[in-house]
Chains A and B, each alone.
Chain A
Amino acid sequence: MTVLRDVRPLGGDAVDVRIEDGVIAEIGQGLDGDDVVEGHGAVLLPGLVDLHTHLREPGREDAETVKTGTRAAAVGGFTAVHAMANTDPVADTAGVVEQVWRLGVEAGYADVRPVGAVTVGLDGKRLAELGAMADSHARVRVFSDDGHCVSDAQLMRRALEYVKAFDGVIAQHAQEPRLTEGSQMHEGELSGQLGLAGWPAVAEEAIIARDVLLAEHVGSRLHICHVSTAGSVEILRWAKSRGITVTAEVTPHHLLLTHDLAATYDPIYKVNPPLRSQSDVQAVRQALADGIIDIVATDHAPHAMEDKECEWAAAAFGMLGLQTALAVVNETMVQPGLLDWQQVADRMSVAPASIGRVSDHGRPIAVGEPANLTLFDPDPEWIVGTGDMVSRSRNTPYAGMILHGRVMATWLRGRPTVLDNALVEFETV
């Protein structure tokens, strides 16, 4: 029996919260328990849910494993993560998704919901056995070829239609492949000067426009991964105004960083879709505030050192995100007054759980609900260091930057995974 004392659920009035048998047992004043965690007025949120995480296992265990990735998730305040399918072998069969799911259960730091590949081998040629993955123990509901766009319009239409049978959703990596051959960074004035091949905004926007129309035509759920441009926001705004069932995510790095960082030629800033202009950053922030973009998803992408310590063109795309996500959202959205804590809970827990059909996460902070909780102190200032990374990789773009706010504690079904700002070490089940 644990009591969280002096905590502010969703940033509201301070209360005490008692956790018992993995659920919230009581909310009130002056509660007592065997274990008392002093909140000092910190914000209590439902455990965060990430719809877009690369855990790299199986295949690249030198960069991340399910265990190291979910430990990073816990430190970042997450209680559930969706593990992307671009592993080796690809998560395109029931066997692979069940393996990833089981590794998550064994590690015990966060619930791992595998994402299934849309096409066999992410090849974009024929559908993977989506139904088998949905029916497996992993209960896959989100399907994505992330890293690759499902660019064939007919295949995309079929995928959108097919997953209706089990309430699935296709999460599209919107990137027109022909417009982005060899692309290295955002196409704009800077790419021309730096001599790095451009990744034009239209390559993202054209696919989103096509896919919202397809989703409308077949009446399916569509989710757009890592929206990065102002133009994409306008298309999504239009689609939602027509009642199309599309949801969208933005990453913390697209909320904070801009393409100017590419001028360093340091591939720590190389990511796909690329960092965009300041006006794009303003647009995606406003869209997240307005609900045009529904959620924040990290696109946590660990990479081994040698894949980043090289020339830009040779480097891998991607950056770490789990441990810094909430602080970046605090910095870019809460402090400027674009979101309050209830809306943060929506964008980072309730809505992603709903899109992923994860039933016991993203729940209200109320008696009888599962105790998946995150305690966040928005005030402390810290300088991000690569040494802070619990992930097996160190490719954080925020190293040396000052961020505000730290996760004090995280509970997964009442069991603390983080306490006193530090990971709880426990033997795997």
Chain B
Amino acid sequence: MRHLLSTQDVTQSEALAILDTARELAQVADRPVKKLPTLRGRTVVNLFFEDSTRTRISFEAAAKRLSADVINFSAKGSSLSKGESLKDTALTLQAMGADAVVIRHQASGAAHRLANSDWIHGAVINAGDGTHEHPTQALLDAYTMRDHLRDGQGSLEGLNVVIVGDVLHSRVARSNVWLLDTLGADVTLVAPPTLLPVGVGQWPCRISYDLDEAIVKADVVMMLRVQMERMNAAFFPSAREYSRRYGLDVPRMSSLPDHAIVMHPGPMNRGMEIAADVADADRSVILDQVTNGVHIRMAVLYLLMGGQEA
């Protein structure tokens, strides 16, 4: 693997290698000195065209624990809003000697553009591109599922994962569907029909419009963030109606099997897609996801950059 752009490109053995590496690197977090010398002298650029403090600091923590130098480049306003172009930004980073670029961008495919151009030579890691993909999020989700439900070992064969919410605009959902399928899990997407993309029937997953029916046998329920502006575009009539039909509240949570876990990629709209009591419940692993995000990003940086000498 030279870049990490999409979970569609990741084979099962590559995915397992990332998860296993992350598990080893996680042990570093328990030491008094949380740092490895692996990427000393190497430079990781966090190129964020879109605000995302949580993803950026997660990558930053991961790179620093591997002793890489980190440059945070917050390019608010891409060529979409008449700022500097993606090309010129990339050429600038190349001239500064970036060994890897972590890119977050509001345009789908921006990471692909960077990786497939000759603007930049280092590894490109997609940290979220528009409504396309967010592969490290899917990897940390898989890690979290494996950790809680499979003793941190092997694939996710036969695991029932229910993903609920705005699939149409969700890069998290796309990356999860491809990766979970690769790892052998059975995925069900639950959403109002307006928030499912055309062609979703061809995806390797089941589709349901009925959350109550879908969660009865779930091992994992993953709630997606629903943005309020979707309401204004008539994707659904009101926040309350959405919440009633597709929100995870306490009564719904009680119909889950005892071992099932609740996940959310954050940031949450408490009271909208997830009730506060559910978010704070014992079976909620939302903060574990955040912790595991650092391990996964360490593993990805290590595997993409570790092969070369500084």
- On A, residues with C-beta under 8 Å from B are 184, 187-198, 200, 264-266, 306, 309-314
Contacts and interface: CB of A to CB of B under 8 A. Distances in A.
A194 B133 CA distance: 8
A192 B199 contact: yes
A216 B200 CA distance: 39
Nearest to A306: B85
Nearest to B85: A310
Given A265-B109, A306-B85, A314-B80, A192 B198 contact: yes
A310 B87 CA distance: 7
A195 B133 contact: yes
Contacts of A265: 108-109, 112-113, 116
A200 B105 contact: no
Contacts of A312: 107-109, 113
Interface string B114-131: 001000000000000111
Contacts of A190: 199
A311 B107 contact: yes
A192 B197 contact: yes
B171 A195 contact: yes
A228 B60 CA distance: 47
A264 B113 CA distance: 8
A314 B80 CA distance: 5
11 contacts: A192-B197, A195-B129, A195-B130, A195-B131, A195-B174, A196-B132, A265-B108, A310-B113, A311-B80, A313-B108, A313-B130
A264 B5 CA distance: 12
Contact of B198 (A191, A266, A306, A309): A191
Interface in B63-107: 78-80, 85-87, 105-107
B180 interface: no
A201 to B, nearest CB: 10
Contacts of B86: 310-311, 314
Contacts of B87: 306, 309-310
Given A190-B199, A311-B79, 16 more contacts: A191-B198, A192-B168, A192-B198, A194-B108, A195-B129, A195-B132, A196-B108, A196-B132, A265-B116, A266-B113, A309-B85, A311-B109, A311-B113, A312-B107, A313-B108, A314-B86
A195 B6 CA distance: 12
B94 to A, nearest CB: 15
Contacts of A195: 108-109, 129-133, 171, 174
A188 B113 contact: no
A193 B106 CA distance: 16
Contacts of B105: 311
B199 A310 contact: no
Contacts of A197: 131
A271 to B, nearest CB: 16
A198 B198 contact: yes
A307 to B, nearest CB: 9
Q: Which 6 A-B pairs have the closest CB atoms?
A: A192-B197, A189-B199, A265-B109, A195-B132, A195-B131, A311-B107
Interface of B: 8, 78-80, 85-87, 105-110, 112-113, 116, 129-133, 168, 171, 174, 197-200, 202-203
A314 B78 contact: yes
A191 B197 contact: yes
Contacts of B116: 264-266
Nearest to B5: A265
A313 B80 contact: yes
A264, A306, A313 interface centre (most CB from chain B within 10 Å): A313
B131 to A, nearest CB: 4
A37 B8 CA distance: 56
Contacts of B109: 194-196, 265, 311-312
Given A195-B131, A196-B108, A311 B78 contact: yes
A194 B132 contact: yes
A191 B87 CA distance: 24
A204 to B, nearest CB: 15
A313 B81 CA distance: 11
Contacts of A198: 197-198
Contacts of B200: 192
A188 B198 contact: yes
A246 B34 CA distance: 73
A193 B7 CA distance: 12
Contacts of A313: 80, 106-108, 130
A188 B8 CA distance: 18
* Interface core residue of B80, B131, B198 (most chain A CB under 10 Å): B198
A265 B116 CA distance: 9
Contacts of A193: 8, 174, 199, 203
Given A195-B171, A195-B174, A310-B86, A187 B198 contact: yes
A345 B133 CA distance: 48
Contacts of B171: 195
Contacts of B198: 187-189, 191-192, 198, 200
Contacts of B168: 192
Nearest to A186: B198
Nearest to A196: B108
B96 to A, nearest CB: 20
A326 to B, nearest CB: 31
Nearest to B174: A195
B80 to A, nearest CB: 5
A153 to B, nearest CB: 22
A311 B110 contact: yes
A100 to B, nearest CB: 29
Nearest to B106: A313
Most buried by B among A191, A194, A197, A311: A311
Contacts of B79: 310-311, 314
A187 B107 CA distance: 17
A316 to B, nearest CB: 11
A198 B107 CA distance: 14
A74 to B, nearest CB: 33
Contacts of B133: 195
Contacts of A306: 85, 87
Task: Find the residue from A200, A265, A310 having the highest chain B CB count within 10 A.
Answer: A265
A183 to B, nearest CB: 12
A294 to B, nearest CB: 31
A309 B89 CA distance: 12
